[in-house]
């Protein structure tokens, strides 16, 4: 019995992208369909190479297409194309994602570094702008400390590629260890330069490591580019959550979508396998639930995470099997999923 393309397409139209909530055919995600005597090959174009739902989509496609009469075999493969709205200020960059926190020391920079490296590991084109003017640490976390930035013929800055990520830190612009006071206009000018005078090329995601709190950088960034959204990093205890709420309120007031919350330092695993909840339990989840935000991950405290940050290799690269690395890799995938959802809500052509 010969199988018609129409019947296979009809079956595919019953498969929903679990995050986007629409079917693969209407979303334009069926890139190729090949039928050969009951053997069906489907190429699904994901909206991010860091798709957290790939396995489920594959299983759902196989189930739906196998149910079509005459189909005896289904092969699914994947490509990915991040969809974004080009913006004048950053023509090649599809999404700008800010990583913020209410206060310092919660591991925001460590999380930002690993999110960027994790997205790159999954195959996305990623940039990282360290805009943490009070404690720029990305140059160290990516081993590009002290490296002079080079310019192209048009005097545009060439970012330094490290661990698959194009990195630029405000630290690369100043002498090592020099204290900086950033007055408003200088800060705005420097940020403009770093963002707009940099040869980013084509990027799926530009991750921006913000300073903690709710200051000038947050405001300037919002004026300079259109942010796809912001990720909030917090530790579980009440004081940290109080501060993260302030950051959340500012994002709301400035109309920046909050893509999710990452709880860092959630617990320390003891040698007997039990968890020491050093900073309390469940704080970020309660906050995320109350504000209807996704909790993208809970990152345990591990020696590896601290050591890899100091050694200049993001943990997801240095020790992908470390529990903190696995939680960060998964958080990056869930974040990429939220970016796709955000893009679907704002891109009319989808």
Helices and strands in the chain, H and E counts: 11, 14
State the minimum distance, in angstroms, from the CB of residue 146 to ligand ADP.
Answer: 18
SS3 326: helix
State the minimum distance, in angstroms, from the CB of residue 2 to ligand ADP.
Answer: 57
Site residues, ligand ADP (CB under 6 A):
101, 104-110, 135, 137, 264-265, 299, 301-302, 305-306, 309, 324
Pick between residue 17 and residue 263 the one whose CB is nearest to ligand ADP. 263
Is residue 2 within 8 Å of residue 29, measured between CB atoms? no
Pick between residue 86 and residue 105 the one whose CB is nearest to ligand ADP. 105
State the DSSP code for 174: S
Q: Which two tokens stand for residue 160?
A: 């330094």
Alpha carbon separation from 25 to 11, 14, 294 (Å, rounded): 10, 9, 26
Pick between residue 78 and residue 182 the one whose CB is nearest to ligand ADP. 182
Alpha carbon separation from 181 to 135, 184, 294 (Å, rounded): 12, 10, 36
Pick between residue 93 and residue 265 the one whose CB is nearest to ligand ADP. 265
Cα 193 from Cα 162, distance rounded (Å): 21
State the minimum distance, in angstroms, from the CB of residue 265 to ligand ADP.
Answer: 5
State the minimum distance, in angstroms, from the CB of residue 101 to ligand ADP.
Answer: 5
Pick between residue 162 and residue 264 the one whose CB is nearest to ligand ADP. 264
Cβ partners under 8 Å of residue 200, min gap 6:
90, 92, 93, 127, 159, 166, 206
State the minimum distance, in angstroms, from the CB of residue 317 to ligand ADP.
Answer: 15
């Amino acid at each position: 019995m010969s199988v018609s393309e129409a019947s296979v397409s009809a079956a595919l139209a019953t498969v929903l992208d679990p995050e986007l909530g629409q079917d693969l055919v209407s979303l334009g995600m069926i890139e190729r369909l090949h039928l050969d005597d009951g053997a069906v090959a489907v190429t699904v174009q994901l909206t991010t190479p860091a798709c957290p739902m790939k396995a489920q989509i594959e299983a759902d496609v196989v189930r739906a297409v196998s149910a079509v009469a005459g189909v005896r075999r289904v092969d699914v493969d994947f490509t990915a194309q991040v969809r974004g709205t080009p913006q004048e200020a950053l023509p090649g960059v599809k999404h700008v994602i800010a990583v913020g926190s209410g206060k310092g020391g919660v591991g925001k920079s460590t999380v930002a570094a690993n999110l960027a490296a994790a997205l790159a590991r999954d195959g996305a084109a990623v940039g990282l702008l360290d805009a943490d003017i009070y404690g720029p640490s990305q140059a160290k976390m990516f081993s590009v400390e002290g490296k002079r930035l080079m310019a192209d013929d048009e005097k545009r800055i060439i970012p330094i590629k490290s661990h698959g990520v194009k990195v630029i830190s405000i630290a690369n612009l100043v002498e090592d260890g020099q204290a900086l006071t950033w007055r408003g206009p200088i800060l705005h000018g420097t940020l403009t330069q770093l963002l707009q005078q940099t040869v980013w090329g084509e990027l799926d995601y530009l991750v921006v490591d913000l300073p903690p709190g709710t200051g000038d950088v947050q405001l300037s960034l919002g004026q300079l580019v259109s942010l796809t959204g912001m990720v909030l990093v917090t530790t579980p205890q009440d004081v940290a959550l109080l501060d993260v709420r302030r950051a959340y309120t500012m994002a709301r007031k400035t109309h920046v979508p909050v893509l999710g919350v990452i709880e860092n330092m959630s617990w320390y695993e003891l040698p007997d396998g039990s968890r020491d909840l050093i900073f309390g339990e469940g704080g970020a989840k309660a906050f995320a639930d109350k504000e209807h935000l996704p909790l993208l991950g809970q990152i345990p405290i591990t020696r590896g995470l601290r050591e890899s940050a100091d050694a200049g290799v993001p943990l997801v690269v240095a020790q992908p099997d470390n529990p903190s690395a696995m939680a960060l890799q998964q958080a990056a995938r869930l974040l990429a999923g939220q970016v796709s959802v955000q893009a679907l809500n704002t891109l009319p052509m989808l």
